[in-house]
């Protein structure tokens, strides 16, 4: 079991309230992860403007599927669950540190939405040039299994929601969309911000079946299974990008593929010189969440 005894283990341990810097209110407790191992859980009430207290929980357990400890942060006490994938090689605290939680904290505090920010293993999968491309895909699949068999049960136990929303920015948008399209029974909504959905650049020319089924621009055009298509039709699917976004073209490409299959979706292009960065994604969060 990993015990956390100090605020410095959690990012954002001190906050600014009405011009005064104050420590967060921390209560430490133990949590049984349900995977045969005890894990740590920290309840952190983070101060925000007007001295509102937001529930912020830290989870950490050893994942046998990944062979390592995995961490996540959960925000809120009620409402629809939203799973957040970080940007490329990002960490579980990235979303908060980049101002995304603050962008829509009122909805979290009001009990309308609960946010779950997971860690990534991109440096061990897509970005790991020291291993064979096939092994990169298999590491990604192991990560997906961690989400399905470890993170989703945690979310279900905390929210009792039959489905979740998923989101991410940049490479996180790929993770969100790919997960939603592969598991539409588990996902009710997907908001992909400034994503790119073709992973061939990570494969050094290698291609196999496992990669095919994790590359949306390849498998969606050939998806004719009614079970998937019926669930896609029930899903809220949003592709969002700025007009000066480096991934704008990839969003048009993915939207075209979805359109050819008759899959309902919304391509939202933000105009006015909007670029691939956190200020744009913060405003998107306010709009979509």
- pLDDT (average), residues 234-243: 98
CA 213 to chain centre: 19
pLDDT at residue 172, as a whole number: 98
Q: Assess contact for 140 and 214: CB atoms under 8 A.
A: yes
- Calculate the average pLDDT of the chain: 86
Residue 18 pLDDT > 60, yes or no? no
Residue 207 pLDDT > 90, yes or no? yes
2 or 175, which is more confident?
175
pTM of the model: 0.85
pLDDT at residue 52, as a whole number: 54
Ramachandran assignment for 202, one of left (phi > 0), alpha (psi -120 to 50 degrees), beta (any other) = alpha
Return the bridge partners of 211, or none.
Answer: none
Q: Which of the residue ranges 15-19, 69-73, 132-136, 167-171 would you say has the lowest mean pLDDT? A: 15-19
State in Å, rounded, how far the first CA of the chain is from the last one: 35
Q: How buried is residue 222: exposed, middle or buried, by Cβ count under 10 Å (0-12/13-18/19+)?
A: exposed
Q: pLDDT (tens digit, 9 = 90+) per residue, 105-153?
A: 999 999 999 999 999 999 999 999 999 999 999 999 999 999 999 999 9
Rg (CA), the chain: 19
pLDDT at residue 234, as a whole number: 97
Q: How sure is the predictor about 282, in pLDDT bands with cuts at 50, 70 and 90?
A: very high
- pLDDT (average), residues 167-174: 98
Tell the CATH superfamily of the 80-288 domain.
Alpha/Beta hydrolase fold, catalytic domain (3.40.50.1820)
Residue 155 pLDDT > 80, yes or no? yes
Q: Which of the residue ranges 38-42, 66-70, 216-220, 280-284 would you say has the lowest mean pLDDT? A: 38-42
CA distance 76 to 99: 16
Residue 17 pLDDT > 60, yes or no? no
* DSSP character at residue 35: S
pLDDT at residue 23, as a whole number: 35
Q: How sure is the predictor about 53, in pLDDT bands with cuts at 50, 70 and 90?
A: confident
Q: How sure is the predictor about 4, in pLDDT bands with cuts at 50, 70 and 90?
A: very low
Residue 3 pLDDT > 90, yes or no? no
Tokens for 64, please give them.
């046998």
54 or 21, which is more confident?
54
- pLDDT (average), residues 262-269: 98
- pLDDT (average), residues 168-187: 98
Q: Give the total residue count for the chain.
A: 289
Q: Assess contact for 92 and 118: CB atoms under 8 A.
A: yes
**Long-range pairs for 147-151 at CB < 8 Å and ≥24 separation?**
147/83, 147/118, 147/179, 148/183, 148/186, 149/65, 150/33, 150/35, 150/61, 150/63, 150/65, 150/70, 151/72, 151/83, 151/116, 151/118
Residue 166 pLDDT > 80, yes or no? yes
Tokens for 86, please give them.
């970080």
Residue 24 pLDDT > 60, yes or no? no
């Amino acid at each position: 079991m990993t015990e956390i005894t100090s605020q410095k283990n959690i990012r954002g341990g001190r906050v600014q309230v009405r011009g005064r810097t104050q420590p967060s209110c921390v209560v430490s407790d133990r949590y049984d992860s349900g995977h045969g191992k005890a894990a740590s859980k920290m309840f952190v009430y983070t101060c925000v403007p007007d001295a509102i207290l937001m529930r912020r929980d830290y989870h950490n357990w050893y994942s046998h599927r990944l062979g390592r400890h995995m961490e996540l942060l959960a925000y809120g006490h009620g409402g629809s669950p939203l799973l957040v994938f970080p940007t490329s090689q990002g960490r579980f605290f990235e979303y908060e540190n980049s101002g995304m939680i603050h962008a829509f904290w009122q909805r979290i505090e009001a009990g309308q939405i609960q946010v779950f920010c997971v860690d990534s293993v991109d440096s061990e999968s897509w970005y790991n040039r020291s291993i064979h491309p096939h092994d990169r895909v298999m590491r990604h699949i192991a990560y997906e299994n961690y989400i399905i068999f470890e993170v989703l049960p945690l979310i279900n136990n905390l929210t009792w929601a039959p489905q979740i929303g998923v989101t991410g920015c940049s490479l996180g948008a790929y993770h969100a969309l790919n997960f939603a399209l592969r598991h539409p029974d588990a996902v009710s909504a997907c908001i992909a911000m400034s994503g790119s959905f073709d992973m061939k650049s990570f494969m050094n020319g290698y291609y196999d079946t496992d990669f095919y089924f994790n590359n949306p621009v390849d498998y969606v055009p050939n998806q004719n299974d009614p079970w998937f298509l019926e669930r896609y039709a029930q899903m809220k699917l949003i592709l969002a990008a700025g007009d000066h976004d480096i991934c704008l073209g990839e969003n048009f490409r993915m939207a075209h593929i979805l359109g050819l299959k008759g899959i309902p979706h919304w391509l939202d292009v933000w105009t006015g010189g909007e670029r691939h960065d956190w200020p744009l994604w913060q405003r998107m969060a306010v709009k979509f969440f």
